[in-house]
A and B are shown apart, each in its own frame.
Chain A
Amino acid sequence: MIYRLVVENLKHRPIRTLLSAIAIGVQVTMILTLVGVSEGVLGDMATRSRGTGADILVRPPGSSVLAFSGDMPQGIVGLVRKEPHVVLATGTKVQSIGNFDSITGINLDEFNAMSTGLRYIEGGPFKGPDDLLIDDVYASAHKLHAGATLNLGLQWRVAGVVESGKLSHLFAPLESLQEKYSATNKVSVVYVKLDDPQNMQAVIDSLHLKLTDYKVFSVDEFVSLISVNSVPMLKTFTNVVVGISVIGGLFIVFLTMYTAVLERTREIGILKALGGSPGYVMGILMRETFLLAVVGAIAGILMSYGTQWIMRTFVPTMPMFIVYRWWPWAVLIALSGSMIGAIYPGLKAAKQDAIEALAYD
């Protein structure tokens, strides 16, 4: 019965209810999008790291997990190659070109040997120093085909489109990339393939000894390090967004419910004349808020599929995951902000003088 009143009250002001629910939903979408993009980008990175087929990777001293741009001398590659059990070692140069994109310089033959080969959807391998390979994700995002020219600060020609999931979205010949960006004989990461993964620890230990201060990871270890925790400030940033959502939801619900209480003095008076206690009156408002927040949270979850579509369409290189794990949190965040926001209007309604409320003017 009381739920019929609650639902009817919400339906009584459909626009206000809808707008408040959407506003609560936007907070939820904001959180889910942030979390989804964080996990999506990192997950994509992990997939692409595994897609190299390497067992071990070596990074320059002082580099962080996610910033690939630090450089080391190309001579390291030769050094690593001499290690026992190392079958293949290839150096890559990661060149950031802004917009979260980067070009990876590779030695195509070595990379193919390690990764079981790039698979061409269109076109073929590099033919000249200005040739670029792009993956299908990047191609569809920018509507590019083999043969197209592409300006990424410098002019490139798309030699081929390859299947995604291996190392990078954009590949250039290593030497030409080094030359174009004045980084001759510099590489960012050395990928290493072993004869037998059994020897992993031995090789890592030995490399650590020879390359003091260099970062040597097994790919598994590296992938496990690719997490929200390894991105500086991301966790803090997420917490800030969550905090803003709670406060935003709080204000929205405060305003919605406050105006509802103001326009319902008469109804509140009637409920009290019928013997409704202050708690009963407040309970109705809190239930309305609860329902509003749940509807808002569901709207927010649905809208996060919308932001996923937007990301996929306009920024496909930054994939967004739907992180189900966060749904209960998002609902909880929407609920907590909303319920806190409803307390003051609820108390105001509960305390309202029935006689004044029943006066006619």
Chain B
Amino acid sequence: MTSGANNNASMIEIRDLKKTYKVGEIEVHALRGVDLSVARGEFVSVVGPSGSGKSTLFHILGGLTPPTSGTIHIDNRDLLAMSEAERTHLRKTTVGFVFQKYNLLPTLSASDNIEIARHIAHKTGPRDPQFNDMLGLLGLTGRLHHKPRALSGGEQQRVAIARALVNHPALLLADEPTGNLDSENSTAVLTLLRDLNSRLGQTILMITHNPEAAAYGHRILTMRDGRVV
């Protein structure tokens, strides 16, 4: 594990990150000063009670919402300095998201769900061989032309992971990817994440409530009241 800002081996560098949501008159302090370093190639599990700010941290990392204060670098790029358009670009190129459920566009087949991510990133032509290897890891061959509703929850999550990775993001953010799955499907998804990490060196941050799932990571990060403890 590495520390120190702008270290080249570092994927994420966060210092004193704060996020305050304003809901009408009320201020919600979702993050109250997060410090965090994640090295390239790490697989980190994030745990913590509900409302501790785990998802908020992910949304900021993925540029879905701007932070209130602090410093945050992903892949040596300063997120605080980014415009809305630059954060959109970040999601397109650097960060891949997987959510708890309903990850897929229901009107498109699994295969087209993956294609649309390439389309958004202006990638045309055949998929690269590396990605096709990954599809092998997914164990989804033959199911890719199905619409999401014809797939099991576990299959849907694996498609979502494939889609998140099709553009080779530096960072994969998975927010409770197994939260909606039975243990068999959970194991399949977690094994896939571990394989992607160990074989392809994919940096992964995964939120989970399940200690067994958390154990798949190299280390476990606990959040409480908007801080990493």
A contacts, CB < 8 Å to B: 1-2, 4-5, 8-9, 11-12, 266-267, 270-277, 280, 354-355, 358, 360
- Select one of A11, A267, A277 contacting B105, CB under 8 A: A267
B105 / chain A contacts, CB cutoff of 8 Å: 5, 267, 270-271
B1 / chain A contacts, CB cutoff of 8 Å: none
Q: B215 to nearest A CB, angstroms?
A: 25
B91 CB–A CB distance under 8 Å: yes
Q: Evaluate contact between B116 and A8: CB separation under 8 angstroms.
A: no
Q: A217 to nearest B CB, angstroms?
A: 63
Q: B181 to nearest A CB, angstroms?
A: 15
B103 CB–A CB distance under 8 Å: yes
Instruction: Taking A266-B102, A273-B97, A280-B120 as given, write out 15 further A-B residue pairs in contact, using a Cβ cutoff of 8 Å, ordered by the A residue number.
Output: A2-B116, A8-B107, A8-B108, A11-B107, A12-B106, A12-B107, A273-B62, A273-B91, A274-B97, A274-B120, A275-B89, A275-B91, A275-B117, A358-B99, A360-B100
Q: Evaluate contact between A2 and B107: CB separation under 8 angstroms.
A: no
- Select one of A1, A8, A271 contacting B115, CB under 8 A: A1
Q: Evaluate contact between A1 and B107: CB separation under 8 angstroms.
A: no
A305 to B116, CA, bound (A): 40
How many B residues touch A, CB cutoff 8 Å? 31
A264 to B72, CA, bound (A): 32
B112 CB–A CB distance under 8 Å: yes
Q: Evaluate contact between B119 and A267: CB separation under 8 angstroms.
A: no
B101 / chain A contacts, CB cutoff of 8 Å: 360
Query: Given A12-B107, A274-B120, A275-B93, are A1 and B112 neighbors across the interface (CB < 8 Å)?
Result: yes
Query: Given A275-B120, A276-B120, are A267 and B106 neighbors across the interface (CB < 8 Å)?
Result: yes
B28 CB–A CB distance under 8 Å: no
Nearest 10 pairs of A and B residues by beta carbon: A275-B92, A8-B107, A275-B91, A1-B119, A273-B97, A12-B107, A354-B64, A277-B88, A274-B117, A276-B120
Q: Evaluate contact between A274 and B107: CB separation under 8 angstroms.
A: no
Q: Evaluate contact between A274 and B89: CB separation under 8 angstroms.
A: no
A146 to B67, CA, bound (A): 91
B92 / chain A contacts, CB cutoff of 8 Å: 274-275
A272 to B116, CA, bound (A): 12
Query: Given A273-B97, A360-B100, are A5 and B91 neighbors across the interface (CB < 8 Å)?
Result: no
B121 CB–A CB distance under 8 Å: yes
A7 to B62, CA, bound (A): 30
Closest to A359 in B: B55
B117 / chain A contacts, CB cutoff of 8 Å: 274-275
Per-position binary interface string of chain B over residues 49-90, scored 1 when its CB falls under 8 Å from any chain A CB and 0 otherwise: 000000000010010110000000000000000000100111
Q: A322 to nearest B CB, angstroms?
A: 36
B120 / chain A contacts, CB cutoff of 8 Å: 271, 274-276, 280
Q: Evaluate contact between B100 and A1: CB separation under 8 angstroms.
A: no
Pick 28 A–B contacts, CB within 8 A, sort by A.
A1-B115, A1-B118, A2-B116, A2-B119, A4-B112, A5-B107, A5-B112, A8-B107, A8-B108, A8-B112, A11-B107, A12-B106, A270-B104, A271-B116, A272-B64, A272-B91, A273-B64, A274-B92, A274-B116, A275-B89, A275-B91, A275-B121, A276-B88, A276-B120, A277-B85, A277-B88, A354-B65, A355-B59
